[in-house]
């Protein structure tokens, strides 16, 4: 996939293209349904399937107090777009100057001059340009003027078994905030994940017989509710089953809030400074305070047995 981090990076003569525009936070099942339609139209009309997205949520600039936490970092977003089959992604810096340009300028500079769009896919509530003054109706008129078609994207509904709703980043965040990572995987279309670097810790897990990889607080991705989870951990040596804890571990004092730790099952690896990605499979239990370190260790043994069963990892060797 070609990746452009600015309009200037788009090569002359790019396209013609089929374009969809949006935040693509999490690249969830709804996004993937749209991308599948873009790919189908692009194939029929011999166009380059292209995504236009932004380096941050526009609300982070326009209304910071209402800006939600991103489901995934930009690096993960680009990887997911590539895995969906998109041929090109243009990630624009959503700064003050960009936010203040008239909608007509956005169309002419991005869609027409840079991408040579022939088909543009947008949702029914799509707004663009200064103060959201650009509407779908305006885009229809500008498309007729500049020679591109506008396709209106219908809503995509996901069913978790308990409820059916429009697949959205908002719904996925609600599920993750409740610890319902298995349910979140349905509208997300994959296991939710976070990324970071392994840093040194207090070695309490090692003393309890469960050494953990401590993630740096600089984590990419939405951190689920505090608790213990069954997960997959990907590190340079491979992907392994893991018991993940999130929270301040109230059994001990001085543990930071939202500390994320992963015990990799059956592994003894030196991971300090290594990148790590955690994919959450299921919620096990809340983060409880135990009367002693021994009581915590016993519970961790019970957690591990349950996690092995969920992940299909063989029982621990005697």
**Where does the chain hold its CATH 2.40.30.30 domain(s)?**
191-311
**Span 154-171, average pLDDT:** 73
d(CA 129, CA 97): 11
| Domain 2-154, CATH among 3.40.50.300, 3.10.450.710, 1.10.3720.10, 3.40.50.620 | 3.40.50.620
Q: Which tens digits make up the pLDDT trace of 11-28?
A: 999 989 999 999 999 999
Q: Kindly report the pTM of this predicted structure.
A: 0.89
Residue 179 burial (10 A CB sphere; 0-12, 13-18, 19+): buried
pLDDT band at 145 (very low <50, low <70, confident <90, very high): very high
**Span 137-157, average pLDDT:** 90
Q: Is the predicted pLDDT of residue 300 greater than 90, yes or no? A: no
Q: Is the predicted pLDDT of residue 162 greater than 80, yes or no? A: no
Q: Is the predicted pLDDT of residue 226 greater than 90, yes or no? A: yes
pLDDT band at 87 (very low <50, low <70, confident <90, very high): very high
DSSP notation for 31-96: HHHHHHHHHHHHHHHT-EEEEEEESS-THHHH-GGGPPPPSS-HHHHHHHHHHTT-SEEEEE---H
Which position has the higher pLDDT, 210 or 317? 210
- Whole-number pLDDT of residue 295: 80
**Span 276-302, average pLDDT:** 88
Q: Is the predicted pLDDT of residue 85 greater than 90, yes or no? A: yes
Which residues have a Cβ under 8 Å from the Cβ of 314 and sit 6 or more positions away?
308
**Span 33-44, average pLDDT:** 95
- Whole-number pLDDT of residue 200: 82
Q: Is the predicted pLDDT of residue 172 greater than 90, yes or no? A: yes
Q: Is the predicted pLDDT of residue 40 greater than 80, yes or no? A: yes
pLDDT band at 83 (very low <50, low <70, confident <90, very high): very high
Q: Is the predicted pLDDT of residue 156 greater than 80, yes or no? A: no
Name the 3-class secondary structure at 108. helix
pLDDT band at 141 (very low <50, low <70, confident <90, very high): very high
**Span 109-118, average pLDDT:** 97
**Where does the chain hold its CATH 3.40.50.620 domain(s)?**
2-154
The hierarchical CATH code for the domain 191-311 is: 2.40.30.30
């Amino acid at each position: 996939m070609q990746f452009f981090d600015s309009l200037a990076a788009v090569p002359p003569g790019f396209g013609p293209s089929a374009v969809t525009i949006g935040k693509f936070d999490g690249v969830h099942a709804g996004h993937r349904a749209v991308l599948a339609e873009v790919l189908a139209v692009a194939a029929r009309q011999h166009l380059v399937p292209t995504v236009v997205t932004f380096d941050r949520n526009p609300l982070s600039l326009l209304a910071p107090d209402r800006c939600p936490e991103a489901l995934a970092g930009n690096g993960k977003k680009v990887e997911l777009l590539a895995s969906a089959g998109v041929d090109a992604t243009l990630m624009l810096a959503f700064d003050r100057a960009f936010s203040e340009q008239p909608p007509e300028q956005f169309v002419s500079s991005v869609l027409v001059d840079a991408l040579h769009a022939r088909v543009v896919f947008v949702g029914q509530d799509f707004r663009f340009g200064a103060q959201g003054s650009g509407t779908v109706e305006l885009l229809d008129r500008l498309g007729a003027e500049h020679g591109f078609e506008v396709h209106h994207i219908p809503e995509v509904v996901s069913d978790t078994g308990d409820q059916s709703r429009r697949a959205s980043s908002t719904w996925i965040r609600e599920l993750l905030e409740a610890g319902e990572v298995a349910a979140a995987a349905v509208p997300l279309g994959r296991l939710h994940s976070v990324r970071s670097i392994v840093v040194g810790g207090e070695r309490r897990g090692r003393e309890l017989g469960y050494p953990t990889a401590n993630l740096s607080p600089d984590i990419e991705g939405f951190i689920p509710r505090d608790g213990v989870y069954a997960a997959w951990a990907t590190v340079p040596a491979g992907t392994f089953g893991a018991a993940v804890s999130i929270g301040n571990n109230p059994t001990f004092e001085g543990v930071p809030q939202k500390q994320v730790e992963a015990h990799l099952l059956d592994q003894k690896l030196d991971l300090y400074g290594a990148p790590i990605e955690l994919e959450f499979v299921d919620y096990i239990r809340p983060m409880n305070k135990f009367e002693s370190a021994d009581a915590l260790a016993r519970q961790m043994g019970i957690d591990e047995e349950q996690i092995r069963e969920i992940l299909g990892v063989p029982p621990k060797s005697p």
